[in-house]
Structure 1
Amino acid sequence: MELLVASAVAAMTAAGVYLILRLRVFPVILGTAMLSYAVNIFLFAAGRLVVNMPPILDDAAKGYTDPVPQALVLTAIVISFGMTAVVVMMSLGSFILAGHDRIDMTPEADQAAERAAKRDAEREGRA
């Protein structure tokens, strides 16, 4: 079972890193989501969750479930959802500004963004 979980975490991490290295915004967002899912599964696996056992609050002689990994994963889910929403809104703004979702670091891309901003400013001035 540990081998299955470890290989799933490795596959999701590899897919997330591959998607982050793409030159489009949407795969980068999917890659960060895949990495956050891989980290969540890793935290669950590291916590050694036990089925049908009470938390630490009860008698610990029979066995217990550590609530810390569950709290960490719940917190990570909330934070990753919020960050994904922020990144989606930033990428939507850059898509509207540039007209495409490519991630370019060239001077030509900067000039195209400046031309698009001037064009939008002219359109707003006429309206």
Structure 2
Amino acid sequence: MSATDLEDLVKSLQPSQIAPPFARYSHGVEIPIGMRIVRTAGQLGMAQDGSVPDTAEAQANICFANIQAILAEAQMSAKDVCHVSAYVTDRIHFAGYMKARDAFVQGARVLPSSTLLIVSGFTRPEYLVEVEVWAAAR
């Protein structure tokens, strides 16, 4: 199945009655019956060697690299992501997270829906970002 076929299957929902998204995402995404679905666990910004970078952008890049590895196990890629949920520990981390997220969705067939929340913290204080996704493919 070609990318064009997938674009015809997974549909971006952008109702004209509401304000447009203020970033690179869709208000909703319709996934038709028959698609395979992958949902990742929340990924933290810890490298394989156990190190945790100091910046939200570097941590988010690790989160998205982990997500790419998980999707590859299901023969999927970032192009198949239909929703991204992310959590940051402070508003100051939005810009770094968004830079990593925008790079991740750069080649998306359909821009995913997206949720970004500020949380009080994670299991260890050095974590600044956590990301989880839903993906769909044939």
TM range (shorter): under 0.3
In the superposition, the TM-score normalised over structure 2's length comes to 0.26
More strand by share: 2
Larger-Rg structure: 1
More helix by share: 1
In the superposition, the TM-score normalised over structure 1's length comes to 0.28
Q: Flag the structure with more relative contact order, 1 or 2, with Cα contacts below 8 A and sequence separation at least 6.
A: 2
